[in-house]
Amino acid sequence: MIEIKPYRDDDTKGCHGCAGKSTEDTKMFELLIGGNNLKTQVLLCEDCLKKLGSGIMNILAKEVKDIQNYTIDFKDNPCDKAAVGLIEMFPNIKKSNPCSIEKRDNNYIVKYDVQGHDAYTLPAETGLFEDGWTINAEIQEDYYKWINDFEAVKSDGDKHYTVKGNFENEVICSSLEALEDFLTNHMPEEWDYWDI
């Protein structure tokens, strides 16, 4: 998980979050990357602190170039500013109720915690959709039809999105923007396997 906490007041000007555009009320913050025992310090203005969720990946990449892997955990630290900021920036991902988001090399692993006989699956539709997404999957059928494991791709100009996995366990996406776009029209459905 990533914990954001005030580190110390600092009169150095220039915010790392907005590339120095704001010089007012800038404070030094320490980013602690759980599990890796690594930390870095960044200068942030109040506006960037509020928007930290979407910018935290870029800040980390800029300030600590060798950090490739980290996790933001929503369930263990629901008040964590990074977790709250990140999830608020992606309303569709928030609606899908993940338990954590992990940055691993060039991908994001979004984990879900589906228990017992609860189901959280995609509708039984594959192929090319009007929104540009192509979903490849094996449709499961036992009175009801659904999709567990899937792979979806979308190209839009110079953007190439990939989302694959299983919403009952983990979904791997090329970017959080890719998953947000995918979930706009392809939100998984909650139901009960025992209803079959």
Final residue of a structural domain among 68, 90, 109: 68
Per-residue pLDDT of the chain (196 residues; tens, 9 = 90+): 344 444 444 444 566 666 555 556 666 655 554 444 445 556 666 666 665 544 454 444 444 334 455 566 665 544 444 555 566 678 899 899 998 888 777 888 999 999 999 999 999 999 999 999 999 999 999 989 999 999 999 998 888 999 999 999 999 999 888 999 999 999 999 999 998 7
Q: Is residue 76 in some structural domain?
A: no
Number of structural domains (the chain) is 2
Both 124 and 191 in one domain: the answer is yes
Closest to 104 (Cα-Cα) out of 35, 168, 50, 166: 35
Q: Is residue 86 in some structural domain?
A: no
Residue corresponding to tokens 């970017």: 175
Q: Is residue 88 in some structural domain?
A: no
Q: Is residue 36 in some structural domain?
A: yes
Q: Say if CB 154 and CB 181 are below 8 A apart.
A: yes
Final residue of a structural domain among 26, 49, 68: 68
Instruction: Tell me what pLDDT residue 27 has.
Output: 64
Final residue of a structural domain among 68, 88, 104: 68
pTM, to two decimals = 0.67
Both 129 and 63 in one domain: the answer is no
| Residue numbers of the domain that contains 41 | 2-68
